[in-house]
């Protein structure tokens, strides 16, 4: 399955990236085919038509499933991720399934993915058949919330899911 991870953390190589790769593996049984580290695109995201941004966008458009992963900044997704999402026209994703994944420090913002990220993914045409996943940074690798989400998301995305210790 062609799964692409998009990481909206201004700091490359983050826990957010690790969590997105882990969720991809737990959900589909395979690692992502590609990881788009938006931090590496930098100022190119401020304009339109930059070749590196176009290549990242094409990888996302070609994916069968996209995991959009972002830390929680000020109760929402990052501005870096918004710059990338703004590169797409309304509906351009044509129904591609997407996972909205957020890491955060506080459970106060556990619904940020549902309230802030999923609506913009829907606007560019993604389909998010399962709830957004919010993981506390202190327990992103293992938590009851992750297991409950996987049990609900695997059938919603039409994939098998894998146990933590196969």
Ligand X SMILES: Cc1cc2nc3c(=O)[nH]c(=O)nc-3n(C[C@H](O)[C@H](O)[C@H](O)COP(=O)(O)O)c2cc1C
Token code pair at residue 109: 């913002």
CA dist 121 and 119 (Å) reads 5
Q: Which residues within the stretch 124-143 sit at the binding site for ligand X (CB under 6 A)?
A: 137
CA dist 117 and 24 (Å) reads 18
Nearer to ligand X, 14 or 87 (CB): 14
Residue 13: CB partners within 8 Å, gap ≥ 6? 37
CA dist 128 and 65 (Å) reads 10
Q: Per CB under 6 A, which region of 14-22, 31-39, 51-59, 156-164 contacts ligand X?
A: 14-22
Nearer to ligand X, 70 or 96 (CB): 70
CA dist 136 and 108 (Å) reads 10
Binding of ligand X by 113 (CB under 6 A): no
Q: How near is the Cβ of 145 to ligand X at its closest, in Å? A: 14
Instruction: Show the binding pattern over residues 65-84: x = contacts ligand X (CB under 6 A), - = does not.
Output: ------xxxxx---------
Q: How near is the Cβ of 160 to ligand X at its closest, in Å? A: 27
- When binding is defined by CB under 6 A, the residue of 3, 16, 23, 154 that contacts ligand X is 16
Nearer to ligand X, 26 or 109 (CB): 109
Nearer to ligand X, 44 or 136 (CB): 136
Please report, for residues 54, 67, 84, the alpha-carbon distance to residue 51 in angstroms, rounded to integers and kept in the order given: 5, 22, 13
Cβ burial 106-145 (10 Å sphere, 16+ → b, else e):
eeebbebbbebbbebbbebbbebebbbbbbbeeebeeeeb
- When binding is defined by CB under 6 A, the residue of 65, 67, 103, 128 that contacts ligand X is 103
Q: What residues make contact with ligand X under the rule CB under 6 A?
A: 9, 11, 14-16, 71-75, 103-106, 109, 137
């Amino acid at each position: 399955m062609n799964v692409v991870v998009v990481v909206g953390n201004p700091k490359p190589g983050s826990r957010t990236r690790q969590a997105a790769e882990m969720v991809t593996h737990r959900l589909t049984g395979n690692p992502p085919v590609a990881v788009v580290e938006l931090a590496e695109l930098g100022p190119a995201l401020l304009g339109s038509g930059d070749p590196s941004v176009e290549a990242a966008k094409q990888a996302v458009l070609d994916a069968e499933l996209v995991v959009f992963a972002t830390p929680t900044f000020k109760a929402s997704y990052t501005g870096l991720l918004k710059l990338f999402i703004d590169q797409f026209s309304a509906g351009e994703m044509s129904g591609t399934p997407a996972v909205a994944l957020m890491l955060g420090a506080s459970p106060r913002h556990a619904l940020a993915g549902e309230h802030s990220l999923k609506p913009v993914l829907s606007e560019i045409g993604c389909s998010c058949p399962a709830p957004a996943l919010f993981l506390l940074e202190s327990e992103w690798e293992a938590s009851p919330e992750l297991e409950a989400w996987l049990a609900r998301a695997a059938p919603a995305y039409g994939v098998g899911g894998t146990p933590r210790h196969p």
